[in-house]
Amino acid sequence: MENGRRGEGGDYEIPENANEHCPGPQSESAGKSDDCEGCPNQQVCATAPKGPDPDLVAIIERMATVKHKILVLSGKGGVGKSTFSAQLAFALAAMDFQVGLLDIDICGPSIPKMLGLEGQEIHQSNLGWSPVYVESNLGVMSIGFMLPHPDEAVIWRGPRKNGIIKQFLKDVYWGELDFLVVDAPPGTSDEHISIVQFLQATGIDGAIIVTTPQQVSLIDVRKEVSFCKKVGLQVLGVVENMSGLSQIVSNFKFTRATETGDQRDVTEWAIKYLRENAPELLDLVAYSEVFDSSSGGAVKMCSEMGVPFLGKVPLDPQLCKAAEEGRSCFDDKKCGLSASALRRIIDKLVVVANERASSLDNGV
């Protein structure tokens, strides 16, 4: 269906193959008007239920107790979007906010793994579905909790995906939340259109877009920014993830090529040599660009598209390990390189969210 035309009152989406003067499929005269004669959709429109979606009322009521709603998006998969969503939720909870993390990546739900919640199940109470809790102030909801086996594939078409997203929004009892972080799948598909449509009436703060510096990722991020502008979703900022490999020298492994082209581990010898001859090098941070950023990366893209740039997060093996183990990267000093970068970004985000809430309260 294309949204190129509107029906009576300008509120109704018109099917692409509809007659020229279609009154709109939600109109009371849909399928009955003289203008509907000969339209291939006439019978469907005449018998379809009319009026606004009653579930939207239930969603608005559920979301009334949530102060801030933030979508985390990416133009392409594999850029670390879910890792960022998980660490954002961990950080906000550590700041004593009440936090919910909603995973709407229906076909690839990785949030349970990244929050250390694999094998957990959803429970139902008289108030609705109960999130699975990491801490008392950090609840999580994902279709991953509903699968009979972690290797089970979810092979659903758009309408069924939209249905479970709607059910998450209207049936999950979050209670009072300061932040609801929504981890969306990559791209701009049915799930993205649905979550925006369902949440817009409830007051959605906006979206954070995660990318890498490489051009192939930035090309798709530009489409993501364009999507946000088309649906009226504010871009809170762009995060450049995997912005160069950063690691303390003493954490590196060293190899030497053999005559046959194989790699022989010489880490023990290399660390011993450095310790004896140049110990001051062991605590240095070694940095290497993983992706070519000569074109300006996300900073330049943000400038060209007029959206905020939130910051860069290095490709830190310790952050990757924290995600694999389902724990916060802020709990110890192992993730010092990435944790400090994430902290600066999240502090900016909290300020932006509070300023936005304040301006809405003042009618600005």
Encode pLDDT of 208-225 as tens digits.
999 999 999 999 999 999
Predicted confidence (pLDDT) per residue in 218-267, tens digit: 999 999 999 999 999 999 999 999 999 999 999 999 999 999 999 999 99
Question: What's the confidence (pLDDT) of residue 2?
Answer: 39
For residue 362, the model assigns a pLDDT of 67
Question: Which pLDDT score is estimated for 29?
Answer: 76
Q: What is the mean pLDDT of each run of 10 residues along the chain (364 residues)?
A: 42 65 75 84 71 83 96 95 98 97 95 96 92 97 92 88 94 97 93 92 94 93 95 95 92 93 95 96 91 88 96 94 95 87 96 80 62
Looking at residue 361, its pLDDT comes to 65
Q: For 184-319, list the strands marked E by DSSP.
A: 206-211, 235-240, 245-248, 255-257, 263-265, 285-288, 309-312
DSSP 8-state secondary structure symbol assigned to residue 10? G
pLDDT for the residue 363: 61
Residue 52 confidence (pLDDT): 67
Q: How many of the other CB atoms lie within 10 Å of CB of 90?
A: 25
Beta sheet of 235-240, edge-to-edge order = 132-135, 138-142, 99-103, 177-183, 66-74, 206-211, 235-240, 309-312
282 burial (CB, 10 Å; 0-12 / 13-18 / 19+) is: middle
Which tokens is 178 given? Answer: 């300061």
The pLDDT value recorded for residue 5 is: 47
**Rounded to whole angstroms, how far apart are CA atoms 69 and 130?**
18
**Residue the block writes with tokens 């300006």:** 296
Per-residue model confidence as pLDDT tens digits over 21-62:
787 776 777 778 888 888 887 877 776 666 667 888 999 999
Per-residue burial over 197-230, b = 16 or more CB atoms within 10 Å of its CB, e = otherwise = ebbeebbbbbbbbbbbbbeebbebbeebbebbee
The confidence score (pLDDT) of residue 271 equals 96
